[in-house]
Each structure stands twice: as C-alpha cells, then as structure tokens.
Amino acid sequence: MTRLRQRPLLKFLADPFGTSARTMELDGNYIRLTRRRRVESLSLQSLARAPAVTRGMLGTTLTVFTDKMDEVALKGASHQDARDFSQRIKEAWTRFNLAALEKEAAHLNSILAEVKSLVAPSRYPAAYQIAPLLEKARALDASLLSKLNAEAVGPEIVAHIAPVRNFADEPRTLRANGIAAFVAAELDRWKDFFDTIESKPLTPEQRLSIVVDEDATLVLAGAGSGKTSVITAKAAYLVKAGIRSPEEILLLAFAKNAAEEMSERVEARSGVPLVARTFHAIAYDIIGIVEGSKPALADHATNDMAFTNLIKQILKDLVLRRSDVSEAIIRWFAHFLVEPKTEWDFQTKHDFYSHMEAQDLRTLQGEKVKSYEELQIANWLYENGVEYEYEPVYEHKIPETGRRDYLPDFRLTESGIYIEHFGVRRQKKADGSEQLVTAPFIDRHEYLAGMEWKRQVHAEHETTLIETYSYERQEGRLLTGLAEKLAPHVTLKPRPADKIYDRIVELKQVDDFSKLLGTFLRKFKSGSHSLQDCETKSNQLKLGKRARAFLDVFAAVFEEYQKRLEGRIDFEDMILRAAGYTETGRYVSPFRHILIDEFQDISQSRARLLKALKAQHPDVRVFAVGDDWQSIFRFAGSDIHLMRHFGREFGGSFDGEAGVHRTVDLGRTFRSVDQIAFAARTFVLRNPAQIEKQIVPAGFATEPAIRVVTVSKGEDEAKLSQVLAARSAAVAPEAKPATVLLLGRYRFVEPNMQDLRQRFPRLKISFNTIHASKGLEADHVILLNADSGRTGFPSEIVDDPLLSLVSPEEEAFQNAEERRVMYVAMTRARHTLTILASNARPSSFVTELKKDPAYGIAAQPGAELEEHDCGECGGRLLGVTGKDGRVWYRCEHVQHCGNLLPVCQSCGTALPRFTDGTADVRCQCGATYPTCPECEDGWLVERSGSYGKFLGCVRYPNCVGKAKLSSDDGSALKKPRPGNRPR
C-alpha cells in the first residue's frame, strides 16, 4: 500500500476549510481518499488522465481527474512525496488499462477486423449491417479505448486501436467510403453481366441501382428509362452473386399481367426461376398459410363496374327500406352534391366563375343554374312539389331601357309568383345601423340599383315578387324563410323519396356519387379509418355541413356493404388481414429482399403489409422502382406521399439518423427526343412537391416535336384527319408503318378507329385513355380534346375534397395529379406530340404550354388568334370564328360573363386594346377608337338611332355606353370617366 498525506504544518494553511483530501492511498485498483468526515474510493478505471502535481508556496497539490469531470485534490503535501505517489498511480493506471485491453483483446480484434473490412467490403455496407458494429465500437471506446493514456500504452497500441476510435467518431464518413469502394469494385466485377443481361448493355445509372443495396433503395425510373430491365437484372444479380436464394426474394407488381411478364422476363434473361406476384396474391397466400384455407373472394372485388353497381344498388335499397337514410340521401343530392361555395368565398369574378364551371349546378328538375344558392332554392321547390320555371322571360313587355329582356330567377307556374334571389349580406356600420353589401368583386351600388329596378317593375305590373337573400343562408334560414314567405300563396306537395331518387337516377347523378362512395369506402377500409376519425378531420379541415351530410350517407352504405360481404373478403380485407398476421408473427416471412415495381402506385394498406414484412428480420431490404411523376391512380387508393417520404416510411437507422435510404435516378430515357423529354420534365416540375430528376433524352429532334393545333367547334374529325394525313405522307413507301397513339382523358373521345385505319394504311393507329396507356409508347402521339371543362383536361371532376378525410395529406398544388396525367400523355411519344385543343375553350395546360417559351411549342401554321384578359371578369378573351366567318373575342366564362367583342373594323383580324397613357383603344394595325365610358373592355363606334347618329359601345346590348358625335370630325366629344380603365 502506498500513501500520500498532507504535511501537518501546512494542512491548516493550504486547506483551512478541510475541503481537500487529507490522505490518498493506492490500494490495488483503487485510490482511497480520506477527508475530514468520510472515506471514499476511486477506481483506476474512472480516471480520465494521469494525476497532476503542482508546487505552491504552501506545499504541493496532487490532483486526480475522473471521467465524470470531477477533480479530487490533496493540498499541502511534500513535493517529492507527491511526485512519487503520482508516478505510482500512473504506473498502476497503465497496468490496469493494459490488463483491461488484454482482457478485451479478442473483442477488440473482432471489431477491428470488421472496421478494416469497410475499406474494401465484400458486401454492400448497408445501415442495418453496420449499425451493430458501430454500437459495439462506441461501447468499447467509451469503456476502455478512450481512457488509455497514449504516452503510457505507447504509439503501437494507439495506432492499433485508432481505426476503431476513428470509426466510433466518424462512422458516416467511413461507411460512405466503404460504399464507394464496394460499388466501384462491384461494377467492375459484374461488367460482363451488365453488358449482356439485356439486349443492350445497361446504362451506368441502371448498373449503379443494381449494386446499391441499402436498407431501402428507391430507384427513380422516369418514363422510358428501362425500369423493367433494372428489376430483371437486380433479381438475377442477387441470386448469381450468392446474396440471396430465389426463395428469399419477393418480386411484387401491382397488376397480374405485369407480374406474369416480369416472371417470364427474369427467367428468360437470367435463367433464375423467380415468380413475381401481385400484392393481393402474396396477401392471399399469407391468409391461406395462417388460416389453413383461403376465404372466398367477393364477386365484385375484381370488377370495378360490379363494385360501383353494388354501391348503386345499396343506395336504392336504402332509399326504399330506411326512411332515416333515404332522407339523408335525398338531402345529399338536393343540397350537397356540389361544394356549397358562393360568390362570397372568392375575391375575383374569374375565380368564382371558374369554380362554378367546375361544378355541375344541375337541379333535380334538370336545368343548370348560376349559383349554389339558386340550386338550393330550385331543389327545395322540386322536393316540395312546387312547379316552377327557371329564368323565364317576364310576362310583361318592359319599355326600351337598354337592358336585355328581364329574366326573373324563378316563376311558380301555378300561382304566377316570381322569386328573385339577391346576393346581398347584412353588415353593421360604425353607428350601429345595417347596410346591404355585395361580394368583393361586385359593384354594390349598381347591384342595389338593379334590385330596386326589379321591385319597381313588379310593382308597376302588379306581379307578386318573393325575395330571398344571401344573408338568410348565412344565418341558416334561407329555406325555412322561403317556406314562410310562400305559405300564403302555395300549398306544398312533398314528393316521395323514391320518386325523387328515381329522378336523380334519370339525371345520372347517382353514377358519379356511387364512384365517390366506392373510392371513399376503399380508402376508408385500407387506411383502417373510423367514422370518428373522419368527423375529427372534417372539423380540422373545416369541411362543414357537406362532410356531415356525406358521412351520414356513407355510414349507412358502409354498414350495408359489410353485411353483403357475407363472410367473403374484398381486396382491402385481403391486404389488411395479411398485414395483421405478419405484424403479430402468425405468419413468418422467408423473404429478405423485396423488389417492388411501379412503386408510385402504392397505397397505405400495401405499405402497411410491406413494412410488416420488412420488420420481421433485421436484414430485409426494400428495393422500390417507380416514378412519382407518373402517380395517377389516387382514385384507386395510391398515395404519392409514401414515395415522397420513402426514407421516413421504409428506411433504416444509423448513427442516430432515421430514414436512412439510397435514391438512384435512372435519368436516361430510351423513348422521347429532347424537345418532348425536356418539355415534359419542365411541365411536371411546376409542382415543387415532385421529386426532381435529371433527364437524358433518347435523341435530338430535327423538327418541332410538340405542336398545338386549335380546333373550332365541329372540326374535331377534320383536324385529326389533317394531322394523320401529314404523318402518313412523311412515311416512306418502303418503310414500315409509323405507330400513332391517340390519347384521351376519357374513353368517350375515341374516334371511329376502323375508319381511320382504313384511310391511313401507312400508319398503325391505336387509341387509349391516358390512364390505360401507362407502359405504352408510339412514334407519334396525338392528344385529343385538350379542352377546359368538367370532362376536359385537366378534368374538373377528379378530386372531391371529401376524399381528404381518408387521405393522409392533400396535395396543395392545383391539379397536381392531372398534371402528372399530362406528363404520362406527353411521354408516350418517341418523336412527335400533337395536341388538339378547342380554340374557344382550350385547356389551361395548353395555354401554359403555348405561353411559356421554356416548352418550345411550335406555333400552328397560319395566323393564330391571340388570347387577351377579359376586363369584365379577369378571365381569358378567346378568339372564335362565327358561322358567318367573322372573328369575335368571347370570354371563356360564357355562361356567367358573356363579354363578347368584335375585331377591329379596320383590319378585321386583331382585337383593339387599351394603351397605357392614352384615352383611346388602339389596334395593332394602328386604328384607334374612343373608349367606352361605361365598361372596361368596350370602345365606341358609330351607330344610328331614332335621334340620328351617335357613338355606341361595341358590347351593346350588354353595355349601353354612348357619346355624341363631334360636328366637325365625327370623334367622341364625351371623355371616358376617370378611374374606369383597367389597372
């Protein structure tokens, strides 16, 4: 035993409060400390570094440092004694650590060997594989290696343990270096395989995707980039490299034919017998293994039409059998079939009109109305058996006022009563009084004047006018108030629910609603949602009464649907039941590598099954191939967010980082020429949420590759024939026929294919919807009916906001999925893409493509009519050719705005427009016209009236602006009203 004491004469001076140790004794592997009132022990293992000896005026201090950052000092010792004691502690400490190192030698050498193997690994150093090594290295470093005194143990030992310490300190760098070394060596080792596995050598990007083998690997495979080749080669590589046996590989596809094609291709190319399966097939197998037999599949599971028809039948039966549900169903169709938005929900006329046009505001009686509140009134009248006319011509002739014929909103045919619905709300003024106000984009004074004029007309002609107001709906009493106002004049005769439902069926409104219910039901089941979940989310998203009305119907439909399964299962049950068996371990998976094709189409339920399979063993790898740019099956349950957050959903963990995964961008396309490939990329990336990918085109176009051809009403067939004739003429007589793919957003746009094939034998012509064209390609693609409207493109009836109740996230970008549908259409083409679009109602996509030079769209031969902003509502003024051959510019919002302008009288082609800084309207040909004092878009031209010639607005009778003729030169004498020009 060795001891160090405070010197008696110095201890009171050096340590007057007795805080330092009075004695230190070295006892084996411990240092015993004696203080004034207690004795402590320090293990040599706890020392952070060698003791320090400091000489002072009041003796020498010896300080011991522990790994907990504590310092223990003995003050007032003899200097020589302190130095001797310090040396003995250092020697004991070194002996102790060397002994500990010797004790851990085998463990250290094992870790060291694994760390050194990272320099040139024989297998891809995936996160799951290296994470346990990192854990062992850090534990050893913390308990031993970090405590070894470099001076004491010597440089050889320091150098020996350095790789482990470096790895513990910078694991990500060493793993990244190991990955780089492995990939380089593996690419070289398997070069011949990559050169010959397909008919053409694989690209560098394809080769990289095959040798990369992270916990989760996402291969971004753009259109025509050879994703099937990648999956084929990956499966063959895993087997041939001895990484996996065929039984350990699960090859998944979404469609049965795709799975069959993949199986055949893998075996044909590599000789490896691998059976690809669909998600439903593997799920069904899992159920069979666990339960001993497979439950019967519902008849409608494989037939979407049968599924929709079942929903329709359930709706009909509920109307007939359950009065409470029938009321909810009728209430839905009468008042909530469309989004209950009014002009008060919009800041501009253009936004309001665009929304209204996207809605099918068709009443139960069958006519289209102009606002949601009018729809409510009309349907209430119909439900209660009150016969009416919508917007009839007023029964009395109104004297010439410059206005159009007066068309009241409703006329009740039996009583002759008129109903006018006024879009006004009540607003309190500062003095406490109330005033009527209009929507933000409506001229309040003009609107109130119009209300007063209508009241005067009815008063003068002694016709009964019932008034309703927007503020009544805002206060929740629009329809109850209407009932009270009509009570003295009308006897209500409510129609039976089944009769109303028959009318709804006649209007074909049940079809779309059944599809919505079906989509909602599948998402509801696959996401394991509850009605309470949906109600909670509805409140969060502020979907209001419409969501409540929908859920009232859905709850009953879902309950009845589940009853009608009668022990059978649908595809949602199949996936979820298999996932449950896998999660609980009742099914034990043999799979260690899971390869998934078309990953962008994955749904929440499929993802759950995939995660369950991955979680069963630590070494399971997920290899997903897909293209988020081609995610177009949201209606079928696919959830693009699973791909966008791939690492978070399926990745591993390493060094405190979750979601570890690898992404490989194939980049290269073997299909489209540069103009098409780059334009499609630019188009889809307008949505910043899409994953950015680089594109290497298949070749370079020698002529304009994308053209937009505008089509007048009734010219569809003629224009298509012109395009096909041009393509046919370009095919050399001795060449094989060129392939032409006609694409439509909907099936109903398909032309007479038999006739076209007979007329153009040099062309191999086919038609498909864009959704069904995935995987197809052709020399030339012609996109039909790229028009605006409900069944246009982008479709305005695809995503009902209610689906957000059973979707994890709603895409914020407008027309996000429709934009991807357009990308799919564009990238079916090898050499040319021709888009046929209405000149009166072109698609917003077409307008974007034409206006932005980044797309490089070729102009249509001949003079093309320009687009202008509509000064009345902010929409587009589109050039149209009338039956008489004259050109007019009409607002795109024909039903609502009605702005119609003639072309310049001087040149007969262009549209005169306002010029900043002048009081005139000027045409590009140089002609000028006086501005209209009443409206934003019109100008004055000479007209004749009962009092002679005058200047009148070209928009008459929509605008009655006028001015006197100058006696000398015929110019307008009246100046335009200030502040009336567009800003």
Cβ-based neighbours of 913, under 8 Å, separated by 6 or more: 868, 921, 922, 923
CA–CA dist 802, 532 (Å, integer)? 15
In sequence order, the 6+-apart residues with CB closer than 8 A to the CB of 759 are: 721, 724
The reply, when asked if residue 402 is annotated as ligand binding, is no
Q: Which structure tokens are listed for 828?
A: 């079916």
| Sole residue written with tokens 């780059």 | 678
Q: DSSP string of 595-621? A: EESSGGG-BHHHHHHHHHHHHTSTT-E
**Strand order of the sheet with strand 920-922?**
913-914, 920-922, 928-930
Q: Are 955 and 940 in contact (CB under 8 A)?
A: no
Separation of alpha carbons 320 and 315, rounded Å: 9
Question: Cα separation of 654 and 672, whole Å?
Answer: 40
- 576 near 604, Cβ under 8 Å? no
**Is 227 assigned to a binding site?**
yes
| Contact (CB, 8 A) for 634 and 662 | no
Q: Is 296 annotated as a binding residue?
A: no
- β-pairing, 928-930 with 920-922? antiparallel
Closest CA to 561 of 307, 330, 804: 307
Both tokens assigned to 655: 């060094």
Instruction: Determine whether the annotation assigns residue 240 to a binding site.
Output: no
CA dist 571 and 200 (Å) reads 39
- Of 516, 508, 559, give the one whose Cα is nearest residue 317: 559
Rounded CA gap, 642 and 547, in Å? Answer: 26
Buried b (16+ CB within 10 A) or exposed e, 100-117: bbeebeeebeebbebbee
Q: What DSSP designation does 981 have?
A: S
Around Cβ 350, how many Cβ atoms within 10 Å?
22
- Edge-to-edge, what's the strand order for the sheet holding 2-5? 2-5, 23-27, 30-34, 39-43
Helices (H), 891-947: none
Indicate the burial class of 971 (C-beta count within 10 angstroms; 0-12, 13-18, 19 or more): middle
Residue 226 is assigned to a ligand binding site:
yes
- Where helices occur in 487-638 by DSSP H, the ranges are 497-506, 509-526, 531-541, 544-565, 571-583, 604-615
**Residue 76 to residue 72: CA distance in whole angstroms:** 14
Give me the count of residues in the chain.
983
Separation CA 938–CA 904 (nearest Å): 12
Angstrom CA distances, 673 to 702, 709, 731, 828, 969, stand at 9, 20, 18, 11, 60
Q: Which residues of 930-939 are buried (b: 16+ CB within 10 A; e: fewer)?
A: bbbbbbbbbb
Check the annotation: does 526 bind a ligand. Answer: no
Tell me the two tokens of residue 791: 């069944």
Alpha-carbon dihedral angle through residues 247, 252, 257, 260, given to the nearest 10 degrees: -20
Q: Which residues are CB-contacts of 168 (< 8 A; sequence separation ≥ 6)?
A: 134, 137, 138, 141, 145
Binding residue numbers: 221-228
Binding residue numbers for ATP: 221-228
